[in-house]
Amino acid sequence: MPSKTKPVKSNALRPQVDAGLSGSERAQVEFGAYLKALRAAKGLSQADTFKKAEKLAPDDLPLIAPADFEAERDDIIKALGQTTLVRIEAGKIGHIRSSTLMALASIYGETYEDMLAAYVAAVFYRTTTDRLTANDAVQQAFKREGGARPFFISNATKQVSLREVADWERNLVDRSRDKDNVTLWIVAPNFIDHENKYVQEMVVDCLLMRGAHVTYFVDARDVGGGLKFTTFARSAANLLKSRRAQSEPAKVGTIACYGLTNEELAWLTASFVIANPDDYFRQVDRLDGFMIVSDNGAPSFALKLPDAEVKTLVRRITDRLEVRKEIAAPGKPNNERLIYIPNALKPYE
């Protein structure tokens, strides 16, 4: 619920963002300023925040299992020591545990969904998406001379499980308007699908066997003999061959792959799945997509992306693919470093 505390007016509430910072550093600074504004809007000092953390009860953190509460609270208290909180608010600490975010949300009267979305936008998404927070006091805390500056909290506040994303992918053909041209983009800078048999079966049984086309965007260093994506493609091809021996579908889909360069990996830092990106050019009202969020290097959950952010991603990726075509044109230098495999299954047919 919005805080009823009168906002504190202070120059310190204005994010001082150094123009020389990288995108991720800039977003961390703004996330720290967001936390500082939440605290100020509640009229709390950093010491007050620490004291409230010491008094947290299980009901304050309902997402933490009761058996784990004491240990988690101890970690939260350590994470919110005054010196550490100073560094968090200054944007000096990038990784913050989910339990610490839950605690801060509870103490500052913010929803965990908004707190999590803001953190993900800063640390994983490395972007700043303008949107006024629902907390009126925080809006006031972010007021600047000449008008209000909306903070970057991501609109992607609907958190879903990875299983729900898999179910969404499984039913993609049935949901698509044009069932003859179903496409799924999978942006995976940290590719691990080769380790997940369930993902491989879903791609083959629910997409390829039903004529859908899957395009992966992975680190170019994961493409090649014995490497991650190649291992995945070989497994998928063998499984597809087995399925087709049992029942030949009317149409078989394909798997394509773009190997991302270091330049592309600098802005495609998070993992996404996007359904039917061509719908953007057909001016379909809404596009669907999710951002996959990792914790300790492994996918943990997903955030439903708003339509506007999916369209922005599709447009930016499409623009980059056009640039790649120009670079790869005959006679152009450095075209050998761009990896594109239109049919990754063909070598194993």
User: Is residue 1 in a domain?
Assistant: no
Q: Which pLDDT score, from 0 to 100, does residue 6 have?
A: 34
39 and 19 within one domain? yes
Q: Which of residues 148, 170, 193 is at a domain's end?
A: 148
112 and 181 within one domain? no
Among 93-107, 179-193, 233-247, whose mean pLDDT is lowest? 93-107
Looking at every residue in the chain, the average pLDDT score rounds to: 77
User: Is residue 314 in a domain?
Assistant: yes
Is residue 23 predicted with pLDDT exceeding 80?
no
Provide the CATH number for the domain around residue 172.
3.30.870
228 and 135 within one domain? no
274 and 171 within one domain? yes
Confidence of residue 38 (pLDDT cuts 50, 70, 90): confident
Q: Which pLDDT score, from 0 to 100, does residue 27 have?
A: 64
Confidence of residue 296 (pLDDT cuts 50, 70, 90): low
96 and 190 within one domain? no
pTM of the model: 0.61
User: Is residue 253 in a domain?
Assistant: yes
Confidence of residue 154 (pLDDT cuts 50, 70, 90): very low
The token pair at 159 is 């958190």
Q: Which of residues 122, 148, 174 is at a domain's end?
A: 148
194 and 274 within one domain? yes
The token pair at 37 is 């504004």
> Max Cα separation, the chain?
70
Confidence of residue 162 (pLDDT cuts 50, 70, 90): confident
Which residues make beta-bridge pairs with 148? 143
User: Is residue 306 in a domain?
Assistant: yes
User: Is residue 87 in a domain?
Assistant: yes
224 and 87 within one domain? no
Question: What is the domain count for the chain?
Answer: 2
Q: Which pLDDT score, from 0 to 100, does residue 187 have?
A: 93
Q: Which of residues 99, 114, 148 is at a domain's end?
A: 148
271 and 140 within one domain? no
189 and 330 within one domain? yes
Is residue 129 predicted with pLDDT exceeding 50?
no
- d(C-alpha 61, C-alpha 54), whole Å: 13
295 and 178 within one domain? yes
188 and 39 within one domain? no
User: Is residue 2 in a domain?
Assistant: no
User: Is residue 5 in a domain?
Assistant: no
Q: Which pLDDT score, from 0 to 100, does residue 118 have?
A: 72
Among 7-11, 115-119, 260-264, 338-342, whose mean pLDDT is lowest? 7-11
Is residue 16 predicted with pLDDT exceeding 90?
no
144 and 163 within one domain? no
Q: Which pLDDT score, from 0 to 100, does residue 149 have?
A: 32
Confidence of residue 333 (pLDDT cuts 50, 70, 90): low
Domain coverage including residue 109: 11-148
User: Is residue 26 in a domain?
Assistant: yes
